[in-house]
Amino acid sequence: MLATSATKLRNNLFEYLEKVKNGETIVVYLKKKEVAKLIPPNISNWRDQMKTKIKLLVPPDEIIEPIEGMWRDYV
């Protein structure tokens, strides 16, 4: 993690953005107080996200099972 003043960030913005792009986190200070953090984006592969499986809290049969008596008026 790097730390810099807002003035240094302004004067060397593209240099700091390149560091963030490479995975560094930069803390920005204004008058010796932390005011911001530059963090790299969480870039992920969409294919990996599609591999995620849904975890059911109840069995599938229970999800599609009608509640007793609820459908009597409609059948």
Please give the Cα distance from 14 to 37 (Å, whole number).
15
**Architecture of the domain whose range is 1-41:** 3-Layer(aba) Sandwich (3.40)
% of the chain with per-residue pLDDT over 70 = 81
Report pLDDT for 75. Answer: 63
Report pLDDT for 16. Answer: 97
Q: State the DSSP code for 11.
A: H
Give the 3-state secondary structure percentages of the chain, helix then strand then coil, rounded to 5: 35, 20, 45
Q: State the DSSP code for 67.
A: P
Give the model confidence (pLDDT) of 2-34 as tens digits.
999 999 999 999 999 999 999 999 999 999 999
